[in-house]
Amino acid sequence: MSNRNLGQRIRRVFLWTMVVSFCLAAAAGIMVLLGISFDETGAQVLATTVTVGLFSLAMLCCGAVFTRPSRIVGIGGVLISLLTLCWSIFMIWSDWAPEWNTFQVLLSGITLTVAFSFASLVLASTTHRDRLIQTLIWSCLALISASVFLTLLLIWEAWWESESFPRVYGIALILAVLCGVVAPLLSSLRKRRGPAELERQSAAYVMEPSAPIDHGTLDPSLVAALEQEAAARGITAAQLVAPLLQGPR
């Protein structure tokens, strides 16, 4: 089974889980508004349903990079999401009064889940990567790591009473979000380049810009689609695919 097919199946499972979970949560909310009360078990079922739906959304975000070399980020995010989900369900259905340490573990897991989900979305959204965008991506990942570290310090009440902590924490969060938003936008803008720049990019390849595509190694329908799209843009097929073959994915 190819990585693409595996990623599609995992995303389909997450999507159906989200649909079922949110439908059940919506039905329970409507029943509450109609005056139908839930006992403790019903409330636990509702909380579990909402929790599963939210963590399925996070795992769906992490699954966006399963077909890329950066899939290790998505795999790590899915594992952390599953562990945090299990811990959340354990806390929901446990009979003993949880202590603050249990909530610290939960908040730490949620922090890591959000961080991996955001990083996966940034990596999946940057389809075109030149030197500037790669710099933004690495900066975003470094800032996300710094933000997670500072958040864990805040959760576990370590070294956060300093006067400079809120400022450093806020700056790290703002810059992480900024890089995470700007990188995909620039990637989308910079991949729409003119024929002149595409000519310079494709010159680095052994294949000449005007050389025809080897039909013996590609599906004829794919070749026809590429040539049709290239003709619509006024460029060659080699110039069309050149940006997709540059930089890591």
Q: How many helices (H) and strands (E) does the chain have?
A: 9, 0
103 in Cβ contact with 48 (< 8 Å) = no
Distance of alpha carbon 247 from alpha carbon 98, whole angstroms = 49
pLDDT for 192 = 57
pLDDT for 1 = 53
pLDDT for 112 = 96
Res. 170: pLDDT tops 90:
yes
Res. 33: pLDDT tops 90:
no
pLDDT for 194 = 46
pLDDT for 44 = 83
Res. 143: pLDDT tops 90:
yes
pLDDT for 205 = 45
pLDDT for 68 = 82
pLDDT in tens, 44-81: 878 888 888 889 889 888 888 887 888 899 999 999 99
If one compares 179 and 198, the residue with the highest pLDDT of the two is 179
- Give SS3 for 47: helix
For residues 35-51, average pLDDT: 78
For residues 174-203, average pLDDT: 73
Distance of alpha carbon 44 from alpha carbon 28, whole angstroms = 12
Distance of alpha carbon 75 from alpha carbon 69, whole angstroms = 11
Q: For residue 195, name the pLDDT band (cuts at 50, 70, 90).
A: very low
| Contacts of 221 by beta carbon, 8 Å cutoff, 6+ apart | none
Q: For residue 180, name the pLDDT band (cuts at 50, 70, 90).
A: very high
pTM score, whole prediction: 0.69
Residue 36 tokens, joined: 């139908």
Determine phi and psi for 120, rounding to 5 degrees.
Answer: -65, -40
